[in-house]
Amino acid sequence: MAMAISAPRPALRLLTMLAAMLIGLTLISGRLIQVQALQSDRFEAMAAGQRERRIVLPPQRGSILDRDGAELAMSLEMKTLIANPKAVSDPAWAAASLAPLLGIDAAEIEKKLRRDTSFVYLARKLDPAVAASVLALGIEGVDSVKESKRLYPADQLAAHVLGFVGSENQGLGGLEARYEKLLAGLPGELLMERDPQGRSIPAGHSYTRPSTAGDDIFLTIDREVQFETERALAQAVQAYQAKGGVAMVMDPRTGEVLAMANLPTFNPNDVRTATPEARKNRALVDSYEPGSANKVITAAAAIEAGVIKPDDKLSVPDNLRMGSKVFRDSHPHPVETLTFAEVIQESSNVGTIKVALGLGKERMYEYLQKFGYGRPSGLDFPGEAGGILPPVSKWWDTSMGTIPIGQGVAVTGMQIMSVFSTLANDGLAVQPKLIAATIDSKGQRRATTPSEGRRVIKADTADQLTRILIGVTEGKRGTGSMAAVPGYQVAGKTGTAQKPIPGGGGYAGYISSFVGYAPASDPRLVVGVILDEPTPIWGGYTAAPTFRQIMQFSLRHLGIGPGPVLPLEGTPLPGAARSGGASLVEKGAPSTQGVAE
Indicate which residues carry an active-site annotation: 292
DSSP structure class, residue 579: B
Taking the complex as a whole, the smallest distance from the CB of residue 450 to other proteins amounts, in Å, to: 24
**Contact (Cβ atoms closer than 8 angstroms) between residue 308 and residue 584:** yes
Binding mask 172-211 toward other proteins (x if CB under 8 A, else -) reads ------------------------------xx--------
**Contact (Cβ atoms closer than 8 angstroms) between residue 544 and residue 293:** no
Residues numbered 90 to 129 that lie near other proteins (CB under 8 A) are: none
Binding other proteins (rule: CB under 8 A), the pick from 179, 488, 510, 541 is 488
Helix (H) or strand (E) holding 300: helix 295-304
Taking the complex as a whole, the smallest distance from the CB of residue 227 to other proteins amounts, in Å, to: 4
Nearest CB to other proteins, comparing residues 126 and 537: 126
Binding mask 149-168 toward other proteins (x if CB under 8 A, else -) reads --x-xxx-x-----------
- What is the C-alpha separation between 109 and 92, in angstroms, rounded? 9
Q: Which stretch binds other proteins (CB under 8 A): 6-14, 341-349, 485-493, 498-506?
A: 485-493
Binding mask 228-257 toward other proteins (x if CB under 8 A, else -) reads x--x--------------------------
SS3 content of the chain, % helix, strand, coil (to 5): 35, 25, 40
Binding other proteins (rule: CB under 8 A), the pick from 82, 186, 227, 558 is 227
Q: Which stretch binds other proteins (CB under 8 A): 84-92, 370-378, 555-563, 585-593?
A: 555-563
Nearest CB to other proteins, comparing residues 227 and 507: 227
Taking the complex as a whole, the smallest distance from the CB of residue 21 to other proteins amounts, in Å, to: 39
Q: How many residues bind other proteins (CB under 8 A)?
A: 32
Nearest CB to other proteins, comparing residues 209 and 556: 556
Taking the complex as a whole, the smallest distance from the CB of residue 166 to other proteins amounts, in Å, to: 20
- What is the C-alpha separation between 126 and 384, in angstroms, rounded? 35
Nearest CB to other proteins, comparing residues 94 and 259: 259
Contact partners, residue 430, CB within 8 Å, separation at least 6: 252, 253, 254, 255, 421, 422, 451, 453, 454
Between CA 102 and CA 108, with CA 107 as vertex, the angle to 5 degrees is 65
Give the 3-state secondary structure of 112-170. HHCCCCCCEEEEEEECHHHHHHHHCCCCCCEEEEEEEEEECCCCCCCHHHHCEECCCCC
Taking the complex as a whole, the smallest distance from the CB of residue 230 to other proteins amounts, in Å, to: 9
Give the three-state DSSP class for 84: coil
Alpha-carbon Rg of the chain, whole angstroms?
36
Give the three-state DSSP class for 507: strand
Taking the complex as a whole, the smallest distance from the CB of residue 8 to other proteins amounts, in Å, to: 32
Binding other proteins (rule: CB under 8 A), the pick from 24, 334, 450, 487 is 487
Q: Which stretch binds other proteins (CB under 8 A): 272-280, 391-399, 437-445, 482-490?
A: 482-490
- What is the C-alpha separation between 397 and 395, in angstroms, rounded? 7
Helix (H) or strand (E) holding 303: helix 295-304
Binding other proteins (rule: CB under 8 A), the pick from 556, 576, 587, 589 is 556
Nearest CB to other proteins, comparing residues 132 and 137: 132
**Contact (Cβ atoms closer than 8 angstroms) between residue 527 and residue 547:** yes
Residues numbered 493 to 532 that lie near other proteins (CB under 8 A) are: none
Pairing of strands 216-219, 64-65: parallel
Q: Is 565 an interacting residue with respect to other proteins (CB under 8 A)?
A: yes
Nearest CB to other proteins, comparing residues 148 and 369: 148
Taking the complex as a whole, the smallest distance from the CB of residue 224 to other proteins amounts, in Å, to: 6
Task: Report which of 248, 75, 249, 228 is spatially closest to residue 157, judged by C-alpha positions.
Answer: 228
Mutual orientation of helices 223-239 and 543-557 as an angle, nearest 10°? 160
**Contact (Cβ atoms closer than 8 angstroms) between residue 480 and residue 540:** yes
Nearest CB to other proteins, comparing residues 105 and 155: 155
**Contact (Cβ atoms closer than 8 angstroms) between residue 104 and residue 153:** no
- What is the C-alpha separation between 118 and 86, in angstroms, rounded? 6
Taking the complex as a whole, the smallest distance from the CB of residue 523 to other proteins amounts, in Å, to: 14
Residues numbered 53 to 92 that lie near other proteins (CB under 8 A) are: 70-72, 74-77
Q: Which stretch binds other proteins (CB under 8 A): 114-122, 167-175, 220-228, 331-339?
A: 220-228
Binding other proteins (rule: CB under 8 A), the pick from 443, 486, 503, 506 is 486
- What is the C-alpha separation between 269 and 267, in angstroms, rounded? 5
Distances (CA, A) of 370 to 377, 406, 481: 12, 16, 29
Q: Is 30 an interacting residue with respect to other proteins (CB under 8 A)?
A: no
Nearest CB to other proteins, comparing residues 421 and 489: 489
Binding other proteins (rule: CB under 8 A), the pick from 143, 224, 380, 533 is 224
Residues that bind other proteins (CB under 8 A): 70-72, 74-77, 151, 153-155, 157, 202-203, 223-224, 226-228, 231, 474, 484, 486-489, 552, 556, 561-562, 564-565
